[in-house]
């Protein structure tokens, strides 16, 4: 099947989706936790990938697919946006714009995006945090981890009220941190044993990471939780430390004042982390700015082609998009026009008047 007849439409649609991706990425920088924006970005990337694959532009489809994998983790709350992810996605958008520009100039849309693909794959696997890739230093990585921990430990109003009320009624509220041995091959199983031990004599109000993530081993070696019980600190430490492959245990008893202070500190750190992520990643070029150097370099080979090749390049703006409601109105008016025409012909026939085109002169 010859797809060249759809090339002009592909170029127009791709430019629209790229503009949408850029605009929504800039909005997401200002509000990195807004999953509604992430969902819109994901849909645009998914549509662009499908169009590129259909038209046979494999490099374009492959890069968009890798970006889509990252966005899928973010929209499902399995990955939090931060500086390296923003930088990599914006580099991907620059490369996509370059490839579409190359196609517009009559090229094949091919480009070497192996480094960007590798960065995207490291985000999906989580290796980028360990290796410090993407210009993320070891210090900043640890700060991001601390900020992430603080964000996960933030109590909502209901959880805070439960803990505060428990203290008022004479129960013991503890903040517990557990580190599993790095040699453990069954982190999730060891964590489950800790949870099971604690639930036999109390109630876990909140854990970080979440229970679901811990069950799927989506955590490093440690986890933390808020816990209500009647047991003392030493007794809890002994029980947890007695579980196989538990490296360290820290149990801190909280009163109302320490609970309030801890809640305020974690909430403040979480808010600061979000603001810092938004401010650090600011400054990426808006869609209306000139194309990047990568786009310019991709366009140079096409500009140097022979006149015959230039003549073969596709022309823009041969398609126009109209709102479906307006098309419905137009079709209704056209139908009424046909009905009126048939009615007039019937009346003319009855009056023995032949309707034929005439030129009247005065």
How does the average pLDDT of the chain come out, rounded?
A: 75
Distance CA 86, CA 248 (A): 35
- The pLDDT value recorded for residue 341 is 74
Q: Specify the pTM.
A: 0.41
Radius of gyration of the chain (CA): 31
- The pLDDT value recorded for residue 122 is 86
- The pLDDT value recorded for residue 299 is 38
SS3 state at 220: coil
Higher pLDDT, 6 or 207: 207
Residue 33: is it exposed, middle or buried by C-beta count within 10 angstroms (0-12/13-18/19+)? middle
Higher pLDDT, 288 or 58: 58
- The pLDDT value recorded for residue 101 is 92
- The pLDDT value recorded for residue 285 is 44
Q: Is the pLDDT of residue 289 over 70?
A: no
SS3 state at 246: strand
Choose among 179, 215, 222: nearest CA to 196: 215
Q: How confident is the model at residue 320 (pLDDT cuts 50, 70, 90)?
A: low
Q: Is the pLDDT of residue 115 over 80?
A: yes
Distance CA 180, CA 113 (A): 39
Average pLDDT over residues 148-170: 76
- The pLDDT value recorded for residue 54 is 80
């Amino acid at each position: 099947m010859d797809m060249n007849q759809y090339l002009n439409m592909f170029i127009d649609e791709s430019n629209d989706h790229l503009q949408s991706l850029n605009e929504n990425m800039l909005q997401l920088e200002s509000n990195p936790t807004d999953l509604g924006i992430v969902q819109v970005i994901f849909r645009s990337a998914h549509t662009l990938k499908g169009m590129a694959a259909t038209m046979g532009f494999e490099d374009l489809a492959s890069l968009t697919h890798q970006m889509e994998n990252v966005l899928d983790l973010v929209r499902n709350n399995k990955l939090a946006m931060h500086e390296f992810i923003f930088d990599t996605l914006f580099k991907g958008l620059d490369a996509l714009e370059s490839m579409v520009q190359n196609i517009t100039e009559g090229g094949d849309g091919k480009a070497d995006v192996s480094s960007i693909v590798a960065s995207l794959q490291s985000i999906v696997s989580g290796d980028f945090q360990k290796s410090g890739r993407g210009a993320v230093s070891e210090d900043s990585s640890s700060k991001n981890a601390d900020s992430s921990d603080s964000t996960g430990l933030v109590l909502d109003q209901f959880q805070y009220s439960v803990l505060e009320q428990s203290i008022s009624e004479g129960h013991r509220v503890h903040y517990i941190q557990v580190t599993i041995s790095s040699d453990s091959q069954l982190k999730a199983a060891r964590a489950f044993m800790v949870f099971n031990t604690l639930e036999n004599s109390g109630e876990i109000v909140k854990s970080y990471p979440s229970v679901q993530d811990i069950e799927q081993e989506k955590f490093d070696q440690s986890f933390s939780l808020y816990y209500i019980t009647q047991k003392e600190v030493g007794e809890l430490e002994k029980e947890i430390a007695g579980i196989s492959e538990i490296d360290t245990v820290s149990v801190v008893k909280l009163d109302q004042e320490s609970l309030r202070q801890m809640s305020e500190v974690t909430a403040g750190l979480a808010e600061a982390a979000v603001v810092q992520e938004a401010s650090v990643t600011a400054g990426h070029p808006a869609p209306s700015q000139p194309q990047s150097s990568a786009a310019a370099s991709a366009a140079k080979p096409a500009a140097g082609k022979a006149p015959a090749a230039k003549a073969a390049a596709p022309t823009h703006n041969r398609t126009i998009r109209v709102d479906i409601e307006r098309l419905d109105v137009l079709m209704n008016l056209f139908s009424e026009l046909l009905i009126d025409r048939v009615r007039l012909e019937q009346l003319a026939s009855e009056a023995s008047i032949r309707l034929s085109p005439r030129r009247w002169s005065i």
